Structure 1
Amino acid sequence: MHQLPIFLNLTGRTVVLVGEGEAAEAKARLIGRAGGRIVQAWEQGATIAFVALDDEAEARTAATGLRARGLLVNVVDRPDLCDFTTPAIVDRAPVTIAIGTGGASAGLAKAVRQRIEALLPARLGALASALYTTRDAMKARWPTPADRRRAIDTALAPGGALDPLDGAAADKVDAWLASEVASQPPRLETIRLTSPDPDDLTLRAARLLGEADHIFHPADVAPAIIARARADAVRHVADATPQEAPAGLSLWLEMPDDC
């Protein structure tokens, strides 16, 4: 990962936008959608800036001046001058999906966005809002965070009670909460790695890494493989599979001797 993806709250905040023309207008629309207040030159309280100037020397000078005032700067179409880049966006508010290439190819980011747009139902945001409003009810139903997360994961799985690709899922949240959800016994799966390269993971292995609660692995498993697991999955360095799997989904990563 070459950049840290973040979502910045701009509502009511001052954003500097230097430039005119189509590129500047596009950035103005983006800032406006996020609730930012646009100014054309530095003002006290501004924290980020966009520079949309055709002349490279002028763009560089403007970016340097704004950066000297402590602002993070995006220079349109000049990734080498940028402190941050803006991604292609799939907007299903409050769900926002950002696709970035670090400035390498805006065309590629757009193509990926278009593919994702075609997959996601228009009411995906309504599902997120419904889950948000039922947080207290979910905490009452599943008091421990681990049980709550497993229940939600099961519901949101493909074909689950709240499958995100089901356009009517938002209308099913109350029924899901009221239903009898069977508790899942501890589960241990083995992933037999073929190489230290995460790009060689099968689709099944990549999916399991993204779902697992616990990862058991020998010390010599490549860090790039472990990095594909959920950030909050518990990592265990071990020489063999656990005798008794903990609650939830556990994985044992098995590395061939010749890798």
Structure 2
Amino acid sequence: MPQITTLTLFRYGSWRQKFWALAQMGLAPRRLKGTPGMRFLKLLGTGAEGFSTKPDWAVYGVLQVWDREASADTFFTDHPQFQKYMRKAQESFTVYMRPIKSKGHWNGVNPFEETALAVETNSALAVITRATIHKKYLRTFWKSVPDSQRPLQGIRGLIYTKGIGETPYIDMATFSLWTDVEAMKSYAYGTKAHQEVIRKTRELGWYKEELFARFQPYRITGSWKDIPNLNAFGESLNSKGIGS
């Protein structure tokens, strides 16, 4: 059966809710362990757009890999921990994705199984980049980040981007959602600042571990104030032949 990946983001309002969400980073893993059909789990804090040293105390994420879509749907509907997340959050959304290409490792494994899925250049795309930064390069890396992310401001085709991660400053990741493949490539390969970061990464070996994965998003549920057209975008996704 086809593997799928889901990313859920939750936004919390009061400081009591935010503190509860922060505490779940340590408490929830054992409650979620053994969830039927779940192959991989990461509880994530978030920052500003892209890699960021400034935490967003209001937003937290759950990244999961499933053996099939039906396993994910059962979890979202029935699992007590997920229902707690939903009750306490102001808003949330979940994106369902099929992995297209994945290179690298996350804690020693590559959790995303590539598929032979053909993706047209005008198809929507989701990207996750993740890295563990060598401690000796932390200062150099973070000095380079602002220039590399400046081209994201107002770039064509970028629907949403969010910094996500496990350990502040060291284990960092980004999630981005694009209207089409060419828009993502235009940023990744067509901006001098981003190319410079890629060059430095290869020359200096900033990362102890890294992963780059592309996905085809095919279903979105929920709402998110930072993506006003989220429902319209979700309706436009072609889900034929994908899922359980």
Q: Provide the TM-score with structure 2 as the length reference.
A: 0.26
Larger Rg over CA atoms: 1
Structure with the higher fraction of residues in strand conformation: 2
